[in-house]
Amino acid sequence: MVMAGIVETEAVDMSPTIKIICVDDDISILQIVKDCLCEHFLVAIAGSALKGLALMETDGPFDIVMSDHEMPGMKGLVFLRMVAERWPETIRILMSGDCKDMDSVTQAINAGQISRFIPKPFDAVILADQLLEEFNGGSGPATQG
């Protein structure tokens, strides 16, 4: 409504609402992800697959789960398969700087166990765009690089 040159506007909450969890054994990657994505996402981080599963139980549901592949204890593909079984609506993304088993990654994508593969190192701005794209329907290629 406009009255005497004054425009009334409704306050719009622009705080992030998309919940994402990043699982990686590299603390520097976790910190980069948290710092770079907090403007667009509610970001949780976990230093192992087991900690990631525990956080998903206590703080979930999450819209997006990103996981490194090469982690001690449980590989990222195994973790994301468990996520797919327990939280099938969650978008699952695998990251790796040295994935020696791309056949398994391709099979997981084709089986619907992961939505996208993102190679490390990654550009944080491009990563945010890729995550938003996945959240909004995932029209981009499943593998990046």
Q: What is the pLDDT of residues 19-32, one digit of tens each?
A: 999 999 999 999 98
4: confidence class by pLDDT, cuts 50, 70, 90:
low
Is 120 part of any domain? Answer: yes
Is 8 part of any domain? Answer: no
The pTM of this model reads: 0.80
What residue numbers bound the domain in which 126 lies?
17-134
Q: What CATH number does the domain containing 119 carry? A: 3.40.50.2300
Q: Is the Cβ–Cβ distance between 66 and 41 less than 8 Å?
A: no
pLDDT of residue 115: 85
Is 144 part of any domain? Answer: no
With a pLDDT cut of 70, the percent of the chain lying above it is 82
Torsional class of 137: left (φ above 0), alpha (ψ -120 to 50), beta (otherwise): left
Is 1 part of any domain? Answer: no
Is 143 part of any domain? Answer: no
Query: Tokens for 87?
Result: 């939280």
pLDDT of residue 10: 57
Is 79 part of any domain? Answer: yes
Is the per-residue pLDDT at 142 higher than 70?
no
Is the per-residue pLDDT at 11 higher than 90?
no
Is 41 part of any domain? Answer: yes
Number of domains forming the structure of the chain: 1
Is 34 part of any domain? Answer: yes
